[in-house]
Amino acid sequence: MEQIIQQVINGISLGSIYALIALGYTMVYGIINLINFAHGDIYMIGAYIGFALTTFFKLNFLSSLIISMLLCSILGVLIEKVAYKPVRNSTRIAALITAISVSLFLEYGMMYFVKPETRTFPELLPDKKIHIFNTNAVLDFKNLSIIVITISLMLILQYVIYKTKIGKAMRAVSLDSDAAQLMGINIDKTISSTFAIGSALAGAAGVLVGVYYNSINPLMGVLPGLKAFVAAVIGGIGVIPGAVFGGFFLGITETVISAAGGSLYKDAVAFAILIIVLLVRPNGLLGKNIKEKV
């Protein structure tokens, strides 16, 4: 029982990271039907921004987190304006190739400036441990911080989506962009806001990963970015609760598999689950069946 509790705690922490990244994927897809493969690299840049702020400017964890989110949101808007807006009305394959190109540009551009070596993230959080129910299962301060920050950001996101003017505009554009434009909604501003919010969440995930694993590198966004995409598809891409569910589900699944001695196969299992879900429910576990009129 202690082992189960411990693995669930670790899985929730890992799933929190996947969920934060997956939210950016699902928001962008829900608005403009684009799979932003550069999203995982924004998460990587967020980690490097946090590293620079804490190492060279000696800022604390919370300040670094907030500034990283702000800078990543600006980066996300710039990428949308420069790379995605010109191909918005082009074919799906053109937008997809553009997203992959932006991803490679960010990865190897960052590698050029910071070199490919792995950097050690400074210790920002105290090494405190809490024993769960007087057992050997431990909830350390890093896990607790990741879970609390992730839940807080998700609650803020829900408030923005359902209680603010820009959130209502995002939901309207997601439902019918042409009708939303006829009602006076600024489509460009709404799409930019979506990229800003999604990129800010990815930046937060980058800082949290740096604090949790204590190491970062220019290619660190590749696999977590793919895993977060898998999580978004499993939950139902375009559906915000689905991205959260998929992130936690994938994180707990991977942790359980690793604990059972299958750490070498956890990536294969993640993609196998994706294939099974797509075969059984092509729209994801929480996705809705949408019928197209001919």
Tens-digit pLDDT profile for residues 249-269: 999 999 989 888 888 888 898
What number of CA atoms fall less than 13 Å from residue 76's CA on the CB side? 33
* CB neighbours of residue 83 within 10 Å: 17
The pLDDT assigned to 92 comes to 85
Spell out a b/e string for 88-120, using b for 16 or more CB atoms within 10 Å of the CB, else e.
Answer: eeeeeeebeebbeebbeebbeebeeeeeeeebe
Arithmetic mean of pLDDT over the chain? 89
Identify the band that residue 294 occupies on the pLDDT scale cut at 50, 70 and 90.
Answer: very low
What is the band of 134 on the pLDDT scale with cuts at 50, 70, 90? Answer: low
Measured CA to CA, the distance from residue 95 to residue 128 in angstroms comes to 46
d(CA 70, CA 104): 22
Is the model's pLDDT at 102 over the cut of 70?
yes
The predicted structure's pLDDT at residue 292: 46
Share of the chain above pLDDT 90, in %: 62
CA-based nearest residue to 89, from 37, 39, 32: 32
Over residues 50-54, mean pLDDT: 95
β-pair partners for 216: 119
pLDDT tens-digit profile of 205-216?
Answer: 999 999 988 899
What secondary structure letter does DSSP report for 136? Answer: S
Check residue 126 and give its pLDDT.
76
Which pLDDT score is estimated for 1?
67
Residue type, 24: G
CA distances (Å), origin 2, targets 32, 76, 127, 132, 253:
45, 42, 21, 9, 17
What are the residue ranges spanned by the domains of the chain? 17-221
